[in-house]
Amino acid sequence: MKNIYYIGKEDLSFEALEWILNENIKVELSSEAKERIQKCRDYLDRKMENQTEPIYGITTGFGSLCDRTISNTDLSTLQENLVKSHACSVGEEVKPVIVKLMFLLKAHALSLGYSGVQVETVQRMLDLFNNDILPVVYDKGSLGASGDLAPLANLFLPLIGVGDVYYKGQKRDIGSVLDEFGWEPIKLKSKEGLALLNGTQFMSAHGVYAIMKAQRLSKRADLIAAISLDAYDGHLEPFDERLHLIRPHTGQIETGQNIRKFLEGSELISREKKHVQDPYSFRCIPQVHGAAKDAIAYVKSVVLTEINSVTDNPTIFPDDDCIISGGNFHGEPLAIVYDYLAIALAELGNISERRTAQLILGQRGLPEFLVANPGLNSGFMIPQYVAASVVSQNKMYCYAASSDSIVSSNGQEDHVSMGATSAIKLNKIMDNLDIILSIELMNAAQAMEFRRPLRSSPLIEKVIKDYRKEVPFVDEDIVMYKEIRKTVSFLNRLQVDAL
């Protein structure tokens, strides 16, 4: 059916996830997924009937308590206690879209049939997703090692009838919501709590969200850079295709193509220049923006592998009559690439702020601070301060969280990835990048007015016309923070592909 996505029918893709989220698509377990889940659960149930040797997390405690054997009569209580005791995430509430992604990614991972959960457990997750019953999850508490234990525990408390959720715009106790739907709490069976809490879905959900946004920001950065270049009376030669074909990095070639496309038909870019070269922040746009694009593409490939993987522990192989305890929950593959992407996106902001600074210097026929009467008016002096401040903060966020580790669980978990920290600060960098690019757009659009009656390209003129419906040209000093906010809002709605 067109308006249903079947979990476990095929590998997840970024296109499918965007479709589900943007179109509010309902999700169901595919018949193949149900069969795999049930087959694994049946195997585990049979295994437990005659099992005498300890199996980590199933008949034992967790972490450094792995040597403590649990009786068969307490296996369900063990799993419920695990979820309750591990629900320790703190800090800021995670965005609803990321909570929804966590549900989707965990449901898909469990649907692969190596985790030993009940079909009804996964179904309840999808019921919550489909009805926009979203658990309250906080962003701090995961070491990104034995999975995202603390935030995933908060995510799955409602399955056992505990915890808070958002439903119809209100924060409510899950018990009253379950009553409203006539649902009973899930009775977890052996291994299920561990299957829910082990895994990288907090990190992965943040990564999926980051990639989706990074792709949009990268295209917007190209467009805004093109407006700045034209307003600065810059040269088009550094974007000549021949230059990039002899240094054929994919992102560099794509960026050059974008800039040429955006500036096609511009009177400004084609006129004769008095200056020989532009500063690097203009001349090297293809190289810097292109490197960011290549980073996004690589990190996307890693995240795509991760969201189609089994990352809980232990892992059950019914066909081989084998249960293996390993380390697929360790977040190192994500932690390292998130730190890499953080650097790439911070560089998009770094070079953007430099273009903003060039525009207000009073060069190339533009007035100082882009205002007609500088001195009496400060014009665009302080927005550049703001961009510089946010760029500096991003540099702090570029600290490699993946280079850190700290011992936990009484020495059993003695190396951790800090991937959750990498994921959180990556998204903070992108929030800052919204501001930095918006300030560049404000300056570039303002500078363009001083080039009249000459015109930029039809595409850029349309963007500026739409922008001017919300943010005016500045003749005399006005309160700027409101204009920055309006520009951020405009930028977040700007669909570059549709231009």
CATH of the domain at 416: 1.20.200.10
Q: Are residues 437 and 364 in the same domain?
A: yes
- pLDDT 10s digits, 172-195: 999 999 999 999 999 999 889 989
Structure tokens belonging to residue 220: 């917007």
Q: Are residues 129 and 222 in the same domain?
A: no
Q: Are residues 268 and 175 in the same domain?
A: no
Q: Grade residue 359 by pLDDT with cuts at 50, 70 and 90.
A: very high
How many of the other CB atoms lie within 10 Å of CB of 165?
22
Is 43 catalytic? The answer is: no
- pLDDT 10s digits, 272-316: 999 999 999 999 999 999 999 999 999 999 999 999 999 998 999
Q: Grade residue 67 by pLDDT with cuts at 50, 70 and 90.
A: low
* Domains of the chain: total: 2
- pLDDT 10s digits, 209-268: 999 999 999 999 999 999 999 999 999 999 999 999 999 999 999 999 999 999 999 999
CB 222 within 8 A of CB 262: yes
Domain of residue 105, residue span: 4-199
Cα of 401 vs its chain's centroid, Å: 16
The strand pair at 4-7 and 26-29 is best described as parallel
Q: Are residues 261 and 170 in the same domain?
A: no
The domain boundary, picked from 169, 199, 229, lies at 199
pLDDT given at position 56: 66
Q: Are residues 247 and 367 in the same domain?
A: yes
Pairwise CA distance, residues 221 & 491, whole Å: 10
Q: Are residues 173 and 240 in the same domain?
A: no
Q: Are residues 421 and 397 in the same domain?
A: yes
The domain boundary, picked from 138, 169, 199, lies at 199
Q: Are residues 146 and 52 in the same domain?
A: yes
> The domain spanning residue 137 has which CATH number?
1.10.275.10
Q: Are residues 245 and 190 in the same domain?
A: no
Q: Are residues 488 and 467 in the same domain?
A: yes
Q: Are residues 404 and 346 in the same domain?
A: yes
- pLDDT 10s digits, 112-141: 999 999 999 999 999 999 999 999 999 999
Q: Are residues 173 and 259 in the same domain?
A: no
- pLDDT 10s digits, 37-60: 999 999 998 888 776 676 766 766
The domain boundary, picked from 170, 199, 228, lies at 199
What is the rounded end-to-end Cα distance, in angstroms, of the chain?
Answer: 31
Catalytic-labelled residue, pool 5, 43, 56, 340: 56
